[in-house]
Amino acid sequence: MAKPSKQDNKQLLFDVDAAWGKLQAKTIRQRKTSRFSYLRWISYAAAAIIALLVILNTFGPSKSSKETDLLTNQLEVNQTNEPVLILENGEKVSLQKDSFSLQKNYATIHKKDASISYKSDNQETDNETTEVQHRLVIPKGKTYDLLLADGTHVWLNAETELTYPTNFNGDQRKVKLKGEAFFDVAKDAQKPFIVELENMDIKVLGTSFNISNYEEDKTESVTLVSGSVEVNVAQKGTYQITPSEQLSLSEFHQTVNIEKVDTELFTSWKDNKYIFKNARLDDILKKLHRWYDFSVAYEDALMGEKRFSIIIDREDDLSKVLEIISYTSNIKLEYKDKRINVRSEKSLEKGGL
């Protein structure tokens, strides 16, 4: 605030200097009072917060220390790169511990090693119409076993999500899949088991089969090992397949194809190995990518069309796997900084790529 000059205030009938001094003193007092009030308010607020926390800690709802340790926020879960169980209210259960038991919505969840099992705590829930949904999310490089409340056994491959109820109520058993899973369905003639995919539903009473519908593959497929299944394809109709048959739907061509296959080629992953027979190198690397996590650079795109027959143990180091593939052909696969460079022998000698 600028002080007025005497020259500019010749017409004033009071002492400018005295008035200006009083104004400055008043301003200083107001600032001190305001600062004191602010500090006093802060101290009152802090005391109130502390009192509230004490009350909540003493009388508020609480979880057992065991359950609190299991429930984590999304950031912590994503950082672990481990399978995650997502409950109906969005809470995420860390599956890093070797074993635990958890009671949720009339069901007991048992976790041991790399598997989860559900057991109904109250059979009366079978008469309820509302089903409580859980979701199991599996990242790259992991697999998981799941035993549903009806006794159905599900093996989930890497990069897979399965949404399912804690108890099956009503007249059907329905789950939703993204990725790849092998199902060994418990028989129940009164309740058909239905797996919902993006473009098809698979309906069974009791059988075993493999489903793959990875988004990047642009194909959904059902490979039947035993029993029989009914496949309802959106806008295409309903199809029946028998053991050793595979039904596939190409997203690009929107065509349904049924053929006889060697089921072991499509189910060996649940036994911790990959079996490839006359498979394209590009398809082999796509499957391995979900387990080992890498990018690929081809010196020539046609190299991806070269075919191989090979059995790979998923416990093997990636470098060893690539060495075996390279040994059986004139194409060499080099791994560095999470990238595979696919090159010809001649280019390697010249130092290409």
Q: What is the pLDDT of residues 200-253, one digit of tens each?
A: 999 998 899 999 999 888 899 999 999 999 999 988 999 999 999 999 998 776
* C-beta of residue 245 within 8 angstroms of C-beta of residue 226: no
Q: What residue spans define the domains of the chain?
A: 65-266, 272-350
Q: Do domains 65-266 and 272-350 have the same CATH topology?
A: no
The DSSP element (H or E) to which 233 belongs, if any, is strand 229-233
Helix or strand or coil: residue 309?
Answer: strand
Beta bridge partners of 311: 275
Please give the helix or strand (H or E) that residue 77 lies within, else none. helix 74-80
Q: Calculate the alpha carbon distances from 15 to 2, 6, 12, 181 in Å.
A: 17, 9, 8, 93
Task: Assign 73 to helix, strand or coil.
Answer: coil
Determine the Cα–Cα distance for residues 122 and 106; give it in Å rounded to an integer: 6
Cβ–Cβ under 8 Å, residues 88 and 105: yes
> Could you tell me which CATH class the domain 65-266 is placed in?
mainly beta
Q: Is the dihedral of CA 41, 47, 50, 56 positive or negative?
A: negative
| Per-residue model confidence as pLDDT tens digits over 118-153 | 998 765 544 555 789 999 999 999 999 999 999 999
User: How far is residue 140 from each of residues 12, 87, 113, 146, 320, measured CA to CA in Å?
Assistant: 84, 21, 18, 17, 19
| CATH number for region 272-350 | 3.55.50.30
Query: What digits encode the pLDDT tens for the residues 4-58?
Result: 444 444 443 344 445 445 545 544 454 444 444 444 544 555 455 444 444 444 4
Q: Model's pTM, two decimal places?
A: 0.74
Burial pattern 7-28, b for ≥16 Cβ within 10 A else e, equals: eeeeeeeeeeeeeeeeeeeeee
User: Which of 160-169, 311-320, 343-352 comes out lowest in average pLDDT?
Assistant: 343-352
* 111, two tokens: 């976790």
Q: Give yes or no for a contact between 162 and 176, defined as CB atoms under 8 angstroms apart.
A: yes
Checking if the pLDDT of 81 tops 80, the result is yes
